[in-house]
Structure formats: C-alpha cells, structure tokens
Amino acid sequence: MSFSTEERGAPNTRDHRVYFKNSSGEFISPFHDIPAYANEAENIFHAVVEVPRWTNAKMEIATRDPLNPLRQDVKNGNLRYVANVFPHKGYIWNYGAIPQTWEDPNHRDEDTGCCGDNDPIDICDIGDKVCSRGEIIKVKALGTLALIDEGETDWKVIVINTEDPEASDFNNIDDVRRLKPGYLEATVDWFKRYKVPDGKPENQFAFNGEFKDRDFAIKTIKSTHEFWKALVSKATDAGGLNCMNTSLSGSPFCCSAWEAKAVVESTAAVGAEDAIPTSVYKWFYYEK
C-alpha cells in the first residue's frame, strides 16, 4: 500500500494545503482512508508525518475540512509556528498522528480524568530519519505520555519507524531510556514548556509525567480506533469534524473519487513559497 501527496496553494501561506492520494492516484482522507494498522497481527501502525523533526510550522490534519488535508494552524489570524525553547529547535521528533483514531471529547478517560482533545492520536517518531511532511511511515509503539493540554487528554505515543536501522532494538519504553539517554526527559520538557512563549502556563501531565509502557500505549491506540469507528459510522456526533472519505463503503460519509477530486480542484493552485518570518528563529530561555 503506497500513498503520495499533492500540494495546493502557496507554502507558508494560509492557502497552503497538502492533499493525499492512494496508489491509484485518487484523492483520499489521511484521517479516514489510510488504515490505522499496517500489520494488525504485529501491532504495527501507519503514521502520518505532519511536522518533520527540527521544523517549526504547526502543520496538522485539518479535521474539519473536506478530505482532511494537512494545513498550518492559525492563531490570532497568523500562521502558527512552535517556538524554540532552549535547548530545543522546533520539534525534536518527527511529529504526526495515527490515522483512523480519534480522542473522543465526550469520553472521560478513567486514567487521566479528562476528556479527549477531538483529534487523531499523536505520535513522536524517535527514528534517526528526518521524514518529509505528509510522509506515511510504519511504526511500532514503545510507550505513551499523557499530556493534559488545557484540561484535555492529549496522548503522545512514542514510536519508532520500522525502517529505522535500529528498530529491532526498540520494543518498549525502557529501551528508549537505555539506548537514547535523555530523550524521554527532553520530551517531557518540550511538552511542558512549548506554549510558555505564547504567555500560557506550563502544561501538566497525568501519572506525574511518567511514561506508560508499550502495552498501555497499544491499548490506548486501539481504544481511540474504536472511537473513530463510531465517528465515521455516525454512531456518535461528529461535532463539526469532517468525515468525508472514499473507501469506507459502510460509512454515510463515503463519497466518490470524482467528488473528492472536485474538492481538491476547488482550492488554490500551488504557488510560489512565501518566506518564513524571521521571528520563527528566535530562541526563548527559561529557568527550569
């Protein structure tokens, strides 16, 4: 199973979108049409890379747009870039999401006591490769961190790309702690402070910021996959999310390839890239 992307609009502008295609060249939704599982028997998952490591643009699956392309988040009318909080430069992993998952905002998690954040479940890929925006990779889950973001449960699943040369050495969260010393501590520090430059308080975590293991992470992914199934079958209220898809024949939101193509063609054609504001490269320093 292979996938490709098509850009629309000018990069680094509010019109920019990254749409996805299947192996037949037909447009699809990365949220709904890419399978969660790459190999269900071995608990290998697909992941959509939204933000390559070391970059700052807050790209994300547009859950409310038809076909859910990648687009840059907008805050106060401006494109959103994550600040560099010393010693971190941009994102410190390939950051993305597992398709066909959904953190239900109407479900209160029994472990965290908070409801879901209304998005697909997030991943942090610790592999050595710096991925491309929109790349689809196969990953295995190693553990998870429960971020409490403005009162919502926002799981961060630590994964490794199965194509990483050292992937066979990583099978649980303790392997990350042993083989990449300091990476988990840096991950907690990053999520704790990344919104401080925006004038917000430090983020909090469930479980006192401790990582849960592989089995817990897989259980969490599977539960969000079940929530997603309810979403696309209309068994639960979509609440403004766009569930348009081209492959789920039993879903009331399924559309034709022609309808999907019309959605993409209604957007701006790809244009010249705008410059990234110089303010994006500023460093912020805070005492821990």
List, for residues 260-276, the tens digit of each pLDDT value: 999 999 999 999 999 99
Q: Quick one: pLDDT at residue 63?
A: 98
Residue 99 lies in a domain: yes
Give the count of domains, the chain. Answer: 1
Residue 89 lies in a domain: yes
Residue 286 lies in a domain: no
* Domain extent at residue 240: 4-279
- Cα dist. 91→26, 86, 109 in Å? 31, 12, 27
Digit-coded pLDDT (tens) for 18-38: 999 999 999 999 999 999 999
Residue 67 lies in a domain: yes
Q: Quick one: pLDDT at residue 149?
A: 87
In the predicted model, what is the mean pLDDT of residues 187-197? 97
Query: How many CA atoms are closer than 13 Å to the CA of 267, on its beta-carbon side?
Result: 22
Please tell me the distance from the alpha carbon of residue 182 to that of residue 274, in angstroms, as a whole number: 36
Residue 158 lies in a domain: yes
Residue 288 has pLDDT above 80, yes or no: no
Digit-coded pLDDT (tens) for 216-225: 999 999 999 9
Residue 13: give its domain's CATH number. Answer: 3.90.80.10
Q: Quick one: pLDDT at residue 258?
A: 98
Residue 131 lies in a domain: yes
